[in-house]
Amino acid sequence: MRVCDGEEEEIPACDALCTDVRGIGLLIRQADCQAVLLHDPQRRAVAALHVGWRGNAANLPGSAVARMALEFNTRPAHLRAVISPALGPCCGEFRGWQDLLPPNLHGYRLPGNFFDFQAITRDQLTAAGVKRESIEILQLCTVCTPNYFSHRAPAALPCPNRPAGSLIGLPLIGQR
């Protein structure tokens, strides 16, 4: 996770950003992966994560909570989290999962080779100390919901105005 202190003009591409500096907004670009937004109202700190299967395999959500605790003295129980629309368990077919996902994630496999990655992220956040009732999952699948861009959606999916990309922004910390 990269900490934004306000000194950088541009930050190189990365999967996780956090800050407690007022006036800095964080932005995550994603399509079928999850954008996970964290907010600590006590310490006035925020984080934005791009969580794909590799991020789940590496426990990026749990690592981000730990990094916020280290950098901002965040108490995980104070965090609020939002998990964006993403590849849903309905369309989350994952081939080669036996070789690519760690064994502790194999239990999230649904019939066939489908996985519920939003549930994995929720459980990784709760294991890191975030209260389950403080986690909101926007349970919309980017593949079968035509309002969202998807790399996996069939080109024939009936939506002539399907977006060309998805952006989910994290509000910046106010000036007051």
> What's the rounded Cα separation, in Å, for the pair 24 and 36?
17
Which pLDDT belongs to residue 173?
Answer: 63
Element (H, E) at 117: helix 117-127
Q: Is residue 122 part of a domain?
A: yes
SS3 label, residue 50: strand
Q: In CATH, what number is assigned to the domain containing residue 101?
A: 3.60.140.10
Q: Report, as an integer, the average pLDDT of 12-23.
A: 90
pLDDT at 55 over 90: yes
The predicted pLDDT at position 156 comes to 47
Yes or no: say if 93 and 113 are a contact pair by the CB < 8 Å rule.
yes
Residue 127 lies in a domain: yes
Q: Mind giving me the DSSP string for 38-88?
A: EEETTTTEEEEEEE-HHHHHTTHHHHHHHHHHHHH---GGG-EEEE-SB--
Model pLDDT for residues 130-144, shown as the tens digit of each residue: 999 999 999 888 888
Query: Which tokens in the block code for residue 28?
Result: 């995550």
Question: Do the domain assignments include residue 139?
Answer: yes
The total number of structural domains in the chain stands at 1
**What's the predicted TM-score (pTM) here?**
0.89
Residue at 159 is within a domain: no
Among 64, 54, 83, 52, CA closest to 1: 64
* Residue whose tokens read 């106010």: 174
CB neighbour list of residue 54: distance below 8 Å, 6 or more residues apart: none
User: Which residues constitute the domain of residue 19?
Assistant: 2-153
Residue 173 placed within a domain: no
Taking all residues of the chain, what is their mean pLDDT, rounded to a whole number? 87
pLDDT digits (tens, 9 = 90+) for 143-171: 888 777 777 776 545 455 555 555 555 55
The count of C-alpha atoms lying within 13 angstroms of the C-alpha of 29, restricted to the half-sphere facing its C-beta, is 4
**Phi, psi for residue 141 in degrees, rounded to 5:** -85, 130
Domain presence at residue 168: no
Per-residue confidence band for 24, with pLDDT thresholds at 50, 70 and 90? confident
The pLDDT of residue 10: 77
Q: Is residue 167 part of a domain?
A: no
pLDDT band of residue 5 (cuts 50, 70, 90) is: confident
Q: Please tell me the distance from the alpha carbon of residue 28 to that of residue 51, in angstroms, as a whole number.
A: 10
**Within a 10 A sphere around the Cβ of 26, how many other Cβ atoms?**
22
Is residue 87 a part of any domain in this protein?
yes
What pLDDT score does 54 carry?
Answer: 96
Tens-place pLDDT, residues 86-139: 999 998 888 899 999 999 999 999 998 999 999 999 999 999 999 999 999 998
